[in-house]
Structure 1
């Protein structure tokens, strides 16, 4: 079976995607799958990458691409890679892309149009989960507890924002509505810092949300499966040694650590797993997602933070580590995700 691994992309998470895809390539079951690497440049060009997989780690991969045409839409040919010296029809796509243009439904729509099976959530659920505001609105309707928040649009009035935040307790978190890996997020400790944080978030999106901070532990679960057969992993905890779990803490300084399993009560485990499955179903997720929670340090209550439909996927990332703890090895997980993609047809 011929698998195309898509990586890179136009978003600010291009580098993270390359690292995740490199890890998947190095661990996929090559006895079952013939693998082709397809990089997407920051300009959105699809390229057949033929160099050393290590070039993905420093994002130098663009210097080692073939002249073959990558045809995902399948206009003249089925989805595949076509050139003077090769003609490869792909059986499945594994899109290891994070953030806008990869995880937000746009790519999924193209793949749906092509008709090729692909790993992960479909177009609508990808779009809904990527947009933090729509996610909150849908889960509010499902009575899922979340942090208090205010939506801010590009043409916002500062005084209106101030009024909407009346009664909120600092710190606040200002977030672009459509971004992952904590890109563009600022922790705001007082009102004077708010406007600069809003400007930062607007570099990445035309709308944002301001959330009330919670003194909380950060708990995550991995969800695997389609709507008829869902597995929720043992919860794990992110132990943070910085001010908050931002992009630099995640990918540059590596000062956080993972605690698996999380040291929480049986009641909290049960509640987290039930909410994760309920939310996964409500947003019609398929394939995989990582669901992130807070546990309030004051009263122990469980608060849903967000859902990531294509979480970080290196061997040391939380999603595969949680599945590994529950008996699904990294290689088995990759195989299972590919198998799940064919069930969605």
Structure 2
């Protein structure tokens, strides 16, 4: 019998997305085919402490199912690079750019990828002025206020007036020292999965997020039992093709590798598509849309995990 590949499934971490990571990692741990892999659970605690020191004599490859700062922003990826361990997903640069909403948009704009109108400012700039409306004068209400380096809809507010703007910025600053404010648009929320290496990545069928209110917040994503996605999305063929093409362009713009989920806003009235963001380690829970989009594209969950592990080895030359 061929010796099974030892896969360290990293979970937890010190970010606000600790609980989401535990759910995702549990799903990955359970679904890794046992005839091929020997999964090893490695839960990093909320203070960033590791239960074991990873080494090549203990594990063969790492699946960092970590979301948010520390796990999705290049920090863990850099650590694994120093250890010489193959790992699933984007590298240091792509992870860092993909996690930061300012750097991400700069990369997109440099490649001519459409994004919604937005502004950004630091905590110092916010505290240094009383003219808070002046910081967002190029935008119209409603707006969305977001911490630059956080995911899972944490720290995000929809604001419709100056008082709400001030409260939303304070909430965002609790998570990051840089804040992004985006123009709100009336649009459908579309997602598309990317899977593959630098040269020939593939895209999944697009899915659509079912938004119960003005936007899909943390509670709707992870705590509600209501359906959150329609897969595949019902779109005109041309729009679906544009979604997949833009997803590849966004993936390449940040230097992506392995996997990403690209989120879009689709204005039906105008036909415009905006790339909202790219997630370099999307959720892997039973409700998460990345795996569901690939299942609808003919790649069931265990096969998806196998392809991701194979890509990790391919990048490392193992």
Bin the TM-score by the shorter chain: over 0.9
Partner Cα separation in structure 2 for residue 160 and residue 107 of structure 1: 39
Partner Cα separation in structure 2 for residue 267 and residue 240 of structure 1: 23
Q: Helix, strand or coil: the match of 2:39?
A: strand
Partner Cα separation in structure 2 for residue 192 and residue 95 of structure 1: 40
Q: Is the CA contact (8 Å cut-off) linking 1:95 and 1:102 kept in structure 2?
A: yes
Q: Is the CA contact (8 Å cut-off) linking 2:220 and 2:228 kept in structure 1?
A: no
Counterpart position of 1:12:
16
Counterpart position of 1:133:
102
Q: Helix, strand or coil: the match of 2:181?
A: strand
Please give the per-residue CA displacement for 1:92-124, whole angstroms capped at 9, x wherever unaligned.
000000000000000000001111100000011
2:251 equivalent to 1:280: yes
Please give the per-residue CA displacement for 1:309-340, whole angstroms capped at 9, x wherever unaligned.
00010233100000000110100001110000
Counterpart position of 1:97:
66
After superposing on structure 2, the runs of 4+ consecutive aligned residues of structure 1 that deviate more than 3 Å are 157-161
Which of 74, 81, 98 pairs up with 1:112?
81
Partner Cα separation in structure 2 for residue 183 and residue 254 of structure 1: 19
Counterpart position of 1:207:
178
Partner Cα separation in structure 2 for residue 153 and residue 256 of structure 1: 36
Q: Is the CA contact (8 Å cut-off) linking 2:142 and 2:183 kept in structure 1?
A: yes
Which of 13, 22, 26 pairs up with 2:30?
26
2:241 equivalent to 1:270: yes
Q: Helix, strand or coil: the match of 2:234?
A: coil
Question: For 1:17-96, what aligned pairs fall within 5 Å after superposition?
Answer: 17-47=21-51, 70-72=52-54, 79=55, 89-96=58-65
Partner Cα separation in structure 1 for residue 307 and residue 181 of structure 2: 37
238-247 vs 255-264, which deviates more? Answer: 255-264
Partner Cα separation in structure 2 for residue 341 and residue 111 of structure 1: 12
Counterpart position of 1:56:
none
Question: For 1:274-313, what aligned pairs fall within 5 Å after superposition?
Answer: 274-313=245-284
Deviation at 1:196, TM superposition (A): 0.8
Q: Helix, strand or coil: the match of 1:210?
A: strand
Partner Cα separation in structure 2 for residue 119 and residue 9 of structure 1: 17
Unpaired runs of at least 5, structure 1: 48-69, 73-78, 81-87
Number of aligned positions between the proteins: 310
Which of 159, 176, 184 pairs up with 2:147?
176
